[in-house]
Amino acid sequence: MAEVIRMPKMSDTMEEGVIATWLKKEGEEVSSGDVLAEVETDKATMELESYNDGILLHIGIKEKQSVPVDGVIAIIGEKGEDISALIGELKNEMVEEEIQEESNATVEEPTKASELMPMDTSGINASIVTMPKMSDTMTEGVISAWLKKVGDKIESGDILAEVETDKATMELESYEDGILLYTAVETGKGVPVDGVIAVIGEEGVDFQPLLEKAPKTDVIPKSPAPKAEAKPAAVEAPASVAQLTPTSATIPSTNGRIKASPLAKKLASEKGIDIKTVTGSGDGGRIVKKDVENFDPSSVSSESGSPIPAVLPAVVGEERSDEVAVSQMRKTIAKRLSSSKFNAPHFYLTMEINMDKAIEARKSMNEVSPVKLSFNDMILKATAAAIRQNPDVNVSWEDDRMMKHQHIHIGVAMAIPDGLVVPVIRFADNKSLAHISAEVKAYGQKAKEKKLQLEDFTGNTFTISNLGMFGIEEFTAIINSPDSCIMAVGGIQETVIVKNGEMKPGNVMKVTLSCDHRAVDGAVGAAFLQTFKGLLEDPVRILI
């Protein structure tokens, strides 16, 4: 009888897996214990083992595709077995799940469908003008001045109004020809991005159906800040630029601001034309698109006594951004750290440690140690000893209860190309420096080869993140759930130390303890750091 192979939950945080490589093909014989495929999880690349004997009759997921936990991966059965009915049932199961998800979404947000309905403008020769998003941070705009009034004839490129945004006062250009039939916002009032500003269309057309179907937005009163202070700021910058470049007598400007539509300015820039040399034909001498298109540089008179400003050479370049595929590990790191940062109230304690004796002790110990000891190994051993003396930092906050751990399992943050892994040194307080050093090195190699197993990176009660080897002097780290503390370790810096009123050269290291204030108080964290500092400044004590 055919058996369905589903995506197993290979780690406590896993939600989906990616089929990195299929090691078996459809039609091949499979025995219990055979590896069907390699699966990339949020932790590592792991092997998917078969627990059935038979023939691989169906593969449901291609390589590099992801499937959620419990999702169908393959079917194993007897040779020649008809599985068409089973495949049909599985497809129906997937369809029912999708329908259920859509149904839930409809129940939760019944108004979304109507909001996303496209506006039907058939038979109505008019268009709604909405507030454009004029800057990346803009959420609303204030109509500081209308340059057209209801009943005026509008051509594409004409400026309808001046809009005050969060960045500057900018011009609202029309992209339609017709009559300005309606203005929805009075001067001095604000409107959200995509809110209705005006209607342009044929004279006499009934545009009310357009307004009824348009999204309803509230008009926002302008802030009471005096316009006399804000307005000059919008014109000072162009005025100062105008002083740097000789201007032609034909420049249409107001208080130093060149009167030209944004479209005209953009077109002039693309053609390498100095906008100041173009004569405007719009209202009040405003330069519009057709003025730039019809501009002849040779027609500019040199008799005015003002030389034509030199045009800066165009900068050749290409704007480009590449989408990077996010690995399962990176997705989980983002999710877990975001959850930790925003759910756990962090506070930070920083302490400076004199490392002179630790440097001497490491040099002496490496002369007899079977493995080369690093400062990180000494930090791990000192941390374990300090936790044993200050057990209140060895806790986890779970919902509305706190777990106080009697065992000391220290997670060691390690960077790998795909992200970050935290293998765990178990019972670190009971291990020698040489034992810790060998274990950390073994974990580092397994992490690079993506061979860490589930038990290698679970069960931590305290975490250390060391960036000292990268030249970082000091930093703060986000707590690695479910721990309540993580210690960020900086590099050893040679500096001047004042002792007994005398300045002497010395070596110091800064550490910062991040604490979850729900479980660890400031005094508890400070006591731990005091003990840790004492152990490293007199390292013979960590061997006891």
- The tokens for 333 are 């790191």
Q: 129-133, 245-249, 363-367, 530-534: which range is least confident on average? A: 245-249
The residue that leads in pLDDT, 163 or 227, is 163
Q: 201-215, 280-294, 363-377: which range is least confident on average? A: 280-294
Q: Confirm whether 273 is domain-assigned.
A: yes
Q: What is the pLDDT of residue 405?
A: 96
Asked if 505 contacts 356 with a C-beta cutoff of 8 angstroms, the reply is: no
- When pLDDT is cut at 50, 70 and 90, the band that residue 536 belongs to is very high
pTM, full prediction: 0.57
- Domain CATH number, residue 419: 3.30.559.10
Q: Cα(519)–Cα(401) distance, rounded to whole angstroms?
A: 9
Whether residues 514 and 374 share a domain: the answer is yes
Please state, rounded to an integer, the average pLDDT across all residues of the chain.
81
- When pLDDT is cut at 50, 70 and 90, the band that residue 140 belongs to is confident
Whether residues 246 and 182 share a domain: the answer is no
Planar angle of CA 88, 94, 98, nearest 5 degrees = 140
Query: Domain span at residue 512?
Result: 328-543
pLDDT value at 92 more than 80: no
Among 200, 221, 242, which residue terminates a domain?
A: 221
Q: Confirm whether 362 is domain-assigned.
A: yes
Query: Strand 485-499 relative to strand 257-258: parallel, antiparallel, unpaired?
Result: unpaired
Q: Confirm whether 319 is domain-assigned.
A: no
Among 181, 196, 221, which residue terminates a domain?
A: 221
Q: What is the pLDDT of residue 126?
A: 86
Asked if 109 contacts 131 with a C-beta cutoff of 8 angstroms, the reply is: no
Whether residues 341 and 434 share a domain: the answer is yes
Pick from 345, 377, 335: nearest CA to 484: 345
Whether residues 15 and 63 share a domain: the answer is yes
Residue-wise pLDDT for 261-275, tens only, equals: 767 777 787 788 888
The residue that leads in pLDDT, 234 or 174, is 174
Planar angle of CA 83, 86, 92, nearest 5 degrees = 145
Q: What is the pLDDT of residue 156?
A: 80
Among 221, 241, 272, which residue terminates a domain?
A: 221
Domain count across the chain: 4
Q: Cα(46)–Cα(329) distance, rounded to whole angstroms?
A: 12
Q: Cα(76)–Cα(80) distance, rounded to whole angstroms?
A: 11
Q: Cα(540)–Cα(544) distance, rounded to whole angstroms?
A: 7
- When pLDDT is cut at 50, 70 and 90, the band that residue 141 belongs to is confident
Q: Confirm whether 322 is domain-assigned.
A: no
Beta-carbon contacts of residue 234 (< 8 Å; ≥ 6 apart) = 164, 168, 169
Q: What is the mean pLDDT of residues 499-507?
A: 90
- Domain CATH number, residue 203: 2.40.50.100
Q: What is the pLDDT of residue 136?
A: 62
- Domain CATH number, residue 240: 4.10.320.10
pLDDT value at 247 more than 50: no
Dihedral angle computed from the Cα positions of residues 352, 357, 360 and 365, in that order, rounded to the nearest 10 degrees: -100
Q: Confirm whether 439 is domain-assigned.
A: yes
What Å distances lie between residue 426 and 369, 379, 436, 462, 466, CA to CA? Answer: 21, 15, 10, 11, 18
Q: Cα(433)–Cα(439) distance, rounded to whole angstroms?
A: 10
pLDDT value at 508 more than 90: yes
Using only the alpha carbons of the chain, give its radius of gyration.
35
Whether residues 17 and 144 share a domain: the answer is no
Whether residues 195 and 247 share a domain: the answer is no
Whether residues 161 and 242 share a domain: the answer is no
What Å distances lie between residue 42 and 5, 36, 155, 441, CA to CA? Answer: 20, 19, 57, 22
Planar angle of CA 209, 214, 218, nearest 5 degrees = 125
Whether residues 189 and 282 share a domain: the answer is no
Residue-wise pLDDT for 510-526, tens only, equals: 999 999 999 999 999 99
Q: Confirm whether 114 is domain-assigned.
A: no
Asked if 198 contacts 182 with a C-beta cutoff of 8 angstroms, the reply is: yes
Q: Confirm whether 398 is domain-assigned.
A: yes
Q: 21-30, 134-143, 297-306: which range is least confident on average? A: 297-306
Beta-carbon contacts of residue 219 (< 8 Å; ≥ 6 apart) = 184, 185, 186, 189, 190, 191, 195
Tokens 């057209």 belong to residue: 148
- Across 386-544, the runs of DSSP E, i.e. the strands, are 395-398, 401-404, 410-412, 414-416, 419-421, 424-425, 462-466, 485-499, 502-516
Whether residues 234 and 215 share a domain: the answer is no
Q: What is the pLDDT of residue 152?
A: 92
Q: What is the pLDDT of residue 183?
A: 92
Q: Out of 9-18, 168-177, 403-412, give the one with best mean pLDDT.
A: 403-412
Residue-wise pLDDT for 160-197, tens only, equals: 888 887 767 788 888 788 999 999 989 888 889 888 99
Tokens 């192979």 belong to residue: 5
Beta-carbon contacts of residue 361 (< 8 Å; ≥ 6 apart) = 378, 539, 540
Q: 197-211, 232-246, 496-510: which range is least confident on average? A: 232-246
Whether residues 187 and 257 share a domain: the answer is no
**Catalytic (active-site) positions:** 517, 521
DSSP 287: B
Other CB atoms within 10 A of residue 120 CB? 10
Q: What is the mean pLDDT of residues 414-419?
A: 84
Residue 368, CA atoms < 13 Å, CB-side half-sphere: 4
Beta-carbon contacts of residue 14 (< 8 Å; ≥ 6 apart) = 41, 42, 43, 69, 328, 332
Q: What is the mean pLDDT of residues 229-235?
A: 37
Whether residues 439 and 333 share a domain: the answer is yes
Residue-wise pLDDT for 435-465, tens only, equals: 999 999 999 999 888 888 888 988 999 999 9
H-run or E-run covering 114: helix 112-115
Residue-wise pLDDT for 36-46, tens only, equals: 888 888 777 88
Exposure string of 141-154, with b = 16+ CB inside 10 Å and e = fewer, is: bbbbebebeeeeeb
How far, rounded to the nearest angstrom, does the alpha carbon of residue 23 sit from its chain's CA centroid?
Answer: 35
Beta-carbon contacts of residue 442 (< 8 Å; ≥ 6 apart) = none
Pick from 74, 65, 73, 5: nearest CA to 328: 65
Q: Confirm whether 17 is domain-assigned.
A: yes
3-state secondary structure of 52: coil
416 class by beta-carbon count within 10 Å (0-12 exposed, 13-18 middle, 19+ buried): middle
Asked if 90 contacts 3 with a C-beta cutoff of 8 angstroms, the reply is: no
Whether residues 237 and 184 share a domain: the answer is no
| DSSP states along 189-221 | EEEETT-EEEEEESTT---HHHHHHSPP-PPEE
- When pLDDT is cut at 50, 70 and 90, the band that residue 277 belongs to is confident
Phi, psi torsion values for 87, nearest 5 degrees: -65, -40
